[in-house]
Structure 1
Amino acid sequence: MHRILMSTVAVFALMAVSPAAAQSDDNMKKLQGMQSTGTSMDFQTIDQTGEYADQLRKNLDAIKLPDGFEISLFAVVPDARHIAVGPQGVATFVGTRKQTVWAITDRDRNRVADEVKQFAPSIDFSIPNGVCFSDDGFLFIAEQNRVLVLPAAEFFYESPDVAVGVVVDKGKLVPTAEESFNHTARVCRIGPDNKLYISLGQPYNVPPEEKSDLYKREGIGGIVRMERDGSGREVFATGVRNSVGMDFNPENGDLWFTDNQVDGMGDDIPPGELNRATAAGQNFGFPWYGGGNVRTNEYKNAEVPADVVAPQVEMDAHAADLGMTFYEGDSFPRKYRGGIFSAQHGSWNRTDPVGARVMFTSLNEDGTAKDTEVFAEGWLSDSGEYIGRPVDVATLKDGSLLVSDDLAGAIYRIAYTK
């Protein structure tokens, strides 16, 4: 019986190292050695015409915007999540919560995608949600449990093979025992200190107390930063439940980030958050607070750390605030310049759904939040049906705003035309 059991274990161990996994590892070694993998040049492209694209355009008739703004379909992009606009203006890259990163090209510059194709098909990605560029053209991809860097991505995107480096090895971003199906969509940014910042959502609604030391040490339920080569990793912020959007204020270098708050506490509590980190080591209150100043049931009797930083903005409960960006363009009216656009994905556990819109937050002269208002809405119908779920926002070179939608599988473009 013992031999049978051991034989069975051995069989499963061999099965675990599948031919596909071995091929993936082999491809990575070849790519890092600047060798061809033999991956077919015939890789996936997405049709930008036809009935589906036409229907997405019709759906946009329901979107309400301030006077002078127009919204259009920029690209059909399946499962579109976070957006990284190439600094050279050649291509825009879009992450997903599946296995694909997409490259969008607008060759004739009419602000409509001419081509959407799979990026780097010789690499097996796993939840490559987080895409971000450095100013000097390096594309970073934060997966569920690995971080890659792709130099000159805008140059190599036409080929199935790409120049690639490993910033954080597979299984090293978080301990493998903490990999989860929940809260695994990472986001990244390069800071003004030229370091790489990555958010690490914790996998629970509210984590058990026995996880607290591990999570604090690893930066799970927080934001970590490191050199661009992965060295010098440190925990930058703690007390963050699940941030899926962040950006640096170009005026003073403060890091702002959204945070999704605790589910199941009622329709109207706790609020979602827009936060500002002014220094390393700050604590933003989770899990003692479920959002804003609302205490969690699980930690209601626990002593709250004295240095907790309150959110700058409390958003509607369960609206699911995700991607955000500081607006640095100059084509929108002056009131929007230097402010924050953020996407609300929409609620899933609220009696009356809320969200599915783009918000705008202006700032005071001292760098704090001033006013928050709805900028674009209509993806949630009056009957409570989602016709789209915004995920991220990014600014094109011409100052127009891109909005991703992972329900419809699209990228929209909002432009000021008045």
Structure 2
Amino acid sequence: MNLSSIIARGVAMIGGTALRLRHIRDGSPIPAWGGAPAIPTAKPQGVIPTLKMPTAQGWSEGQAPIPAPGLKVNAFARGLKHPRWIKTLPNGDVLVSEANSIPRAVMRNAFDYAMVATMRRARAVGESANRITLLRDRDGDGVAEIQDVFMEGLNQPFGMELVGDQFYVGNTDGVVVFPYAPGADRITAPGRKIVDFKPGGHWTRSLLQSPDGKKLYAGVGSLTNIADQGMEVEEGRAAVWELDLETGASRVFAGGLRNAVGLAWEPQTGMLWTVVNERDGLGDETPPDYLTSVRDGAFYGWPYCYWDRVVDDRVPQDSAMVASALTPDYALGGHTASLGLCWVPAGTLPGFPAGMAIGQHGSWNRSKLSGYKLAFVPFENGRPSGPARDILTGFLAPDEKVSYGRPVGVTLGPDGSLLMADDVGDVIWRVSGA
């Protein structure tokens, strides 16, 4: 380890100690971040879960997120309808999937009713545009002057991948493939479904192709919080799937991942990584969402346990599954709703090394809100190597009553900048050097 790394880690330890002392003094929980997070004991069973979420306000004229020192931010595109995920094509076209959660028709209890009402106020459920929009910045000024419908009539589309002349869309009920011509303005040809997924619950279906283009990986979240309706309805869910594009075969690549959303490759080791939204109802920081490598055949605990095999006693147990559970690599704070994930090469953002950019959509179920920012975790030798940093903040009002925006998908733009979807502001933000 070089001197600069030793100094950086020393500063991080001192800062972490100061943060712990401050939280001990004011009685609030210590944020559960890093490779060895302090995770509070779970709330007792029977405690009513916390329900707290800001009202979605959007951005006023001239208002924007706050970039880290040395960075600047501008709106790459505005006027979208709940943009969630972004895909940059080889020719520089940028595609944005626009979709939303659909409210459940049946409410089991008063808490469910209150939760759906709160989600509506925060624009987290509602009408789904079910389309993909094409953005083009032909003059290279960092703003897309062309904004047209690329595809429509989809079923809660989310992940997108282009493999050769085949365009793949992760609808909530499965992956569909369409023929694509380079530079196409629109796809109208009918698609062919290559795998079925059960819709409902955690509905997003992220996609990532393998480096050789022979396989696709898809994130499929659980139906419920902790298998509340039994494990039978969760079959094939809470997992990352592998789809073989040559043979048509598909299988669960890794399981026990309650809601694995963003997927990214770490280039030095060639490992697949994901960000996972953990379970609700156990406390503000219990358990934390996390960033982890995804190993073939591995199991990561859900619903039986979390983090380092801490048993969730609300769930009928399986001791063998608990014993097999791997501990995730890096905690991202309790209920931060970490969704977007993108590998950021060194030099992309001035002052930032190589690492992962993470769009944290923000909490709705803790006493003090968390997330609501674009975060960054540095990597070294294929692993998280230090404390997280902020890329963009300012999405949440200081009093936590309103949100101006909520980060979701993040990817590299055609000019090497960073693009981030904001589904409350209905904006694609572009981050670059100041």
Q: TM-score, normalised by structure 1?
A: 0.76
- Percent of aligned pairs with the same residue? 25
Q: Secondary structure at the match of 2:135?
A: strand
1:85 maps to 88
CA separation in 1, counterparts of 2:361 and 2:308? 19
1:350 maps to 366
- Pairing 1:147–2:175 present: yes
Q: Is the 8 A contact 1:148 1:164 kept in 2?
A: no
Q: Secondary structure at the match of 1:305?
A: helix
2:150 maps to 119
1:228 maps to 245
- Pairing 1:173–2:192 present: no
CA separation in 1, counterparts of 2:261 and 2:382? 25
Q: How many residues align?
A: 345
Q: Is the 8 A contact 1:319 1:356 kept in 2?
A: yes
Identify which of 390, 398, 423 aligns with 1:382.
Answer: 398
CA spacing shift, 1:378–1:239, aligned 2, 3 Å: same
CA drift of 1:155 comes to 2.5
Mean alpha-carbon deviation: is it higher for 258-267 or for 299-308? Answer: 299-308
1:41 maps to none
Deviations 1:264-283 (A, max 9, x none): 11122111111112x31011
Q: Is the 8 A contact 2:68 2:390 kept in 1?
A: no
Q: Is the 8 A contact 1:86 1:137 kept in 2?
A: no
Mean alpha-carbon deviation: is it higher for 68-77 or for 203-212? Answer: 203-212
Deviations 1:288-326 (A, max 9, x none): 224565432323754143332211111111111101010
Letter in 2 for 1:58: G
From the two aligned structures, give the one with the greater strand fraction: 2
1:257 maps to 274
Q: Is the 8 A contact 1:90 1:154 kept in 2?
A: no
Please say which structure displays the higher CA radius of gyration: 1
2:227 maps to 207
CA separation in 2, counterparts of 1:117 and 1:80? 14
Q: Secondary structure at the match of 1:286?
A: coil
Q: Secondary structure at the match of 1:186?
A: coil
2:62 maps to 58
Comparing both chains, which one has the higher relative contact order based on Cα–Cα distances under 8 Å and sequence gaps of 6 or more?
Answer: 2
CA separation in 2, counterparts of 1:210 and 1:64? 43
- Pairing 1:107–2:138 present: yes
2:72 maps to 70
Unaligned runs of 5+ in 1: 1-53
CA drift of 1:88 comes to 1.4
Flag as ranges the 4+ runs of structure 1 deviating above 4 A.
54-57, 290-294
Letter in 2 for 1:372: A
1:327 maps to 344
Letter in 2 for 1:253: G
- Pairing 1:184–2:203 present: yes
Q: Is the 8 A contact 1:329 1:398 kept in 2?
A: no
CA separation in 1, counterparts of 2:314 and 2:143? 49
1:44 maps to none
CA separation in 2, counterparts of 1:230 and 1:390? 36
Q: Is the 8 A contact 1:200 1:243 kept in 2?
A: yes
Pairs within 5 Å for 1:291-330:
291=307, 293-299=309-315, 301-303=317-319, 304-328=321-345, 330=347
Unaligned runs of 5+ in 2: 1-57, 101-127
Deviations 1:334-381 (A, max 9, x none): 6433x1000100001111211110111111215355432222211011
CA spacing shift, 1:327–1:390, aligned 2, 3 Å: same
- Pairing 1:364–2:380 present: yes
CA drift of 1:64 comes to 2.9
CA separation in 1, counterparts of 2:344 and 2:277? 22
Q: Secondary structure at the match of 2:151?
A: coil
CA separation in 2, counterparts of 1:316 and 1:290? 13
CA separation in 1, counterparts of 2:428 and 2:278? 26
Q: Is the 8 A contact 1:332 1:416 kept in 2?
A: yes
- Pairing 1:162–2:188 present: yes
CA separation in 2, counterparts of 1:293 and 1:102? 42
From the two aligned structures, give the one with the greater helix fraction: 1
Q: Is the 8 A contact 2:81 2:98 kept in 1?
A: no
